[in-house]
Amino acid sequence: MINTIIFDFGNIFLNLDLDGAVQKTLDVFKLKQVPEEMTAINGLYEQGLLSSEEFIEFYTNNFPNISEEKIIETWNFMLKDFPLHRLEFLKTLKDASKYKLILLSNTNQIHIDWVKNHIPFYEDFKNCFDAFYLSHEINLRKPNVAIFEFVVKKNNLKIENTLFIDDNPDNIETARKLGFHVWNLNPKKEDVVTLFKTKKHLFS
């Protein structure tokens, strides 16, 4: 029986434009593809192993013709809207007090600053969870096994009673191998608010 639900943030609650963000990056930085070094720097930043200043400095050093403001605007391009009906769904879940609710997100300080400035109910959203983990704050990142082990240990979870919801197949694969129940949500076709319909076999 499921007694804990772990949610991703982006593309589960907050809509993202990942394809558009890649194209925006290529256009702004005049690239044909995203270099491995850039991908590595982005990953280090999401893991909190680089400060925002160091992250931006990497880009200003490598792309001196592009302003800091443009770099941040490009970095934030993927972030879109947070439909209110998803917050209402989450509040209903919290009020029911049937499940431990945990957020586990790969993110970074610049993105969270944007969210705080553009999503007026961010604190209400955050308060719906029993535990709230952002990758840059805990220095761990999905799909690494260590971040799942961290959450399990911190919350004394039984993996067989836990559902993990994420839009990224790599994250889902790690969770599945560890024994979690999983929902690889497709944000183009599915919405988290249908949880108890889509995964009804786990809750019946």
What's the whole-number mean pLDDT along residues 129-152? 98
- pLDDT value at position 147? 98
Residue % of the chain over a pLDDT of 70: 100
| pLDDT exceeds 90 at position 204 | no
How many domains, in total, are found in the chain? 2
pLDDT tens digit sequence for 2-33: 999 999 999 999 999 999 999 999 999 999 99
- pLDDT value at position 202? 94
Both 92 and 164 in one domain: the answer is yes
Both 22 and 11 in one domain: the answer is no
Both 70 and 120 in one domain: the answer is no
Q: What residue type is assigned to position 187 of the chain?
A: P
Both 157 and 57 in one domain: the answer is no
Both 180 and 97 in one domain: the answer is yes
Both 51 and 135 in one domain: the answer is no
Question: Where in the sequence is the domain holding 48, given as residue range(s)?
Answer: 18-75
Both 109 and 173 in one domain: the answer is yes
Average pLDDT, the chain: 97
Both 174 and 107 in one domain: the answer is yes
Both 168 and 138 in one domain: the answer is yes
pLDDT tens digit sequence for 29-50: 999 999 999 999 999 999 999 9
pLDDT tens digit sequence for 60-90: 999 999 999 999 999 999 999 999 999 999 9
- pLDDT value at position 12? 98
